[in-house]
Amino acid sequence: MIRTIGILGAGRVGSAIARTALTAGYAVNISGSGPGSDIEMLVDIVVPGARAMSASDAVANSDLVIIAVPLHKYRTVSPALLSGKIVIDTMNYWEPIDGRLDDFTTDARSSSEVVSDYFTGARVVKTLNHIGYHELEADNHAAGRDQRRALAIAGDDDAASVVAEIIDRFGFDAVYAGPLETGAAFEPGTAIFGGRHTADELGAELGLTGSTTLFSGAEL
């Protein structure tokens, strides 16, 4: 059972995820790029209740890790640090922001597949990348609400089922797209990216059929 979530990245995305996780009842460890003391005051103000730590301590003391750093910084995180962990990849490739990154411009695969190759030993799941950070705390609703917003998940099915419960507790239906490569369907430039969809609408966009592809509070 996931009780504590570690978040690597204390910017707007990481902070919004941290607040959402705290509201959902999780304990949260959050890190920037240095010692926890560097961000302790910021965290106390922006994410009250979260614990500021170094990245290594945040990971070591968490059941699951969320990476919420700009994509061009993903190689600053040691693969050894995340080995054995379920890792949620929230990152997107934005060339105007990240600059040209050969890792992604010379590889036709989804960004999460490339990231997964780097984080050998981690079980990478792609989600939370296709919702604005400001929408996480505005669009979340309890399970069963009509027209509840849904978020897509891609990764191995065991890890995805763990992440689906987190997404549900965050206030969204979770739609399992399939293995990690299916995450290409909700990267920037797709119809799903940035759009608001119910589970049925998202399943249709992903070309899925049948309720067995959907995770919601009622099914967990």
Q: pLDDT tens track of the chain, all 220 residues?
A: 999 999 999 999 999 999 999 999 999 999 999 999 999 999 999 999 999 999 999 999 999 999 999 999 999 999 999 999 999 999 999 888 888 999 999 999 999 999 999 999 999 999 999 999 999 999 999 999 999 999 999 999 999 999 999 999 999 999 999 999 999 999 999 999 989 999 999 999 999 976 545 565 444 4
Rounded to two decimals, what is the model's pTM?
0.94
Assign residue 25 a region: left if phi > 0, alpha if psi is -120 to 50, beta otherwise?
left
Q: Among 55, 104, 113, 65, which Cα is nearest to 85's?
A: 65
